[in-house]
Structure 1
Amino acid sequence: MYQVITIIHVLIAMAIVGLVLIQKGKGAEAGAGGFGGGSAASVFGARGSASFLSRTTSLLAVIFFSTSLLLAYLGSRQDNKQDIMDAPAAVQGGDLPQVKQDLPEPAKPATGK
C-alpha cells in the first residue's frame, strides 16, 4: 500500500511540474510594448475564470498534499524493526573477513651507521 501511494505521489508531482511549465505566466501578455491596451488590467487586476490547466493544477495540488499527509501518517505507523545502528551486528560472523587479533611487531627502522 505504501509503495503504491508513493508511486502515485511521484506521478502527481511530475504532472504538476509539467502543467506549471506549459502554462502562460500572469504577465505574459504585457509584452515589451508597455501597458498599452487592456494588458494592465489583466496583469494587475482580476483574472476572470480560471482555465482548464489552472483548475487541473489546483486539483492535482490538493491530491498531492493529501498523499503527502497519508504517506506521513503511514510512515509514522510503520514498524521499523531494523535500525541503521543494528546493521553491523546483523552482518557479524557473515561474509566479512575475520580480524587478526595478534598483530606482528612493527619493523624497527634501519640505522644508517
Structure 2
Amino acid sequence: MIETVIVVLHLLVAIGLVGLVLMQQGKGAETGASFGSGASGTVFGSQGSGTFLSRLTAILATIFFLTSLGLAYYASHKASAVQEAGLPDPMLQIEQAAPEAPVSEDVPVIEEDFTPASAGEDVPAAPE
C-alpha cells in the first residue's frame, strides 16, 4: 500500500519537475528586457519568476530524490523477504524453464554443389 503511494507521488513529482524545467527561461532570455519589454508588468513582479521557479524546482528535486531512495529501500526489502521466505527466484525460474534446443548428431547435413550454369547449357534460345 505505501509502496503504491510512493510510486504515484514519484510519478507526479517527476511530471511536475519536467514541467517546471520547461517553464523556466534561459539566461539569454533576459536580454529582451534591456530593449524595453517591461518586466514590471509580469505576474511575478519586476524580479521575475526566477527565484520562485528555482526554489520550487529545488523542492521537487529533493522530493524526487527522497522518493527514489524510498522505492530503492522497498525493492531491496522485498527482495530480501523473498530470499528469507525460501521462495524460488523468479529470474532463475525463467532461465531454467527455457532449455536450449537439443543438438542431434542424427540430422544429416545436405551439401550440394551450386555451380552456375555456363552460357550454353540449358538456356533456352531467344525467340526471333
Same fold (TM over 0.5): yes
Greater mean deviation of Cα atoms: 72-81 or 53-62? 72-81
Q: TM-score, normalised by structure 1?
A: 0.56
The answer for the alignment partner of 1:6 in structure 2 is 7
The answer for the alignment partner of 1:77 in structure 2 is 77
- Residues in 2 aligned to 1:88 and 1:27: alpha-carbon distance in whole angstroms: 54
Deviation at 1:52, TM superposition (A): 1.6
Report SS of the residue matched to 1:78. helix
Report SS of the residue matched to 1:24. coil
Report SS of the residue matched to 1:29. helix
The answer for the alignment partner of 2:93 in structure 1 is 86
User: 2:93 is aligned with what amino acid?
Assistant: D
The answer for the alignment partner of 1:27 in structure 2 is 28
- Residues in 2 aligned to 1:78 and 1:50: alpha-carbon distance in whole angstroms: 42
The answer for the alignment partner of 1:65 in structure 2 is 65
User: 2:13 is aligned with what amino acid?
Assistant: I
- Residues in 2 aligned to 1:30 and 1:50: alpha-carbon distance in whole angstroms: 14
Deviations 1:22-66 (A, max 9, x none): 1111221225xxxx78xxxxxxxxx9x952211111100111111
The answer for the alignment partner of 1:15 in structure 2 is 16
- Sequence identity of aligned pairs in percent? 46
Deviations 1:55-88 (A, max 9, x none): 1111001111111111111111113444212147
- Runs of 5+ in structure 1 lacking a partner? 38-46, 91-104
**Greater Rg, structure 1 or structure 2?**
2
Aligned-CA RMSD value: 3.7
Segments of 4+ moved more than 6 angstroms: none
Q: TM-score, normalised by structure 2?
A: 0.51
For CA contacts below 8 A with separation 6 or more, give which structure has more relative contact order: 1
- Would you say how many aligned residue pairs link Structure 1 and Structure 2? 91
The answer for the alignment partner of 1:96 in structure 2 is none
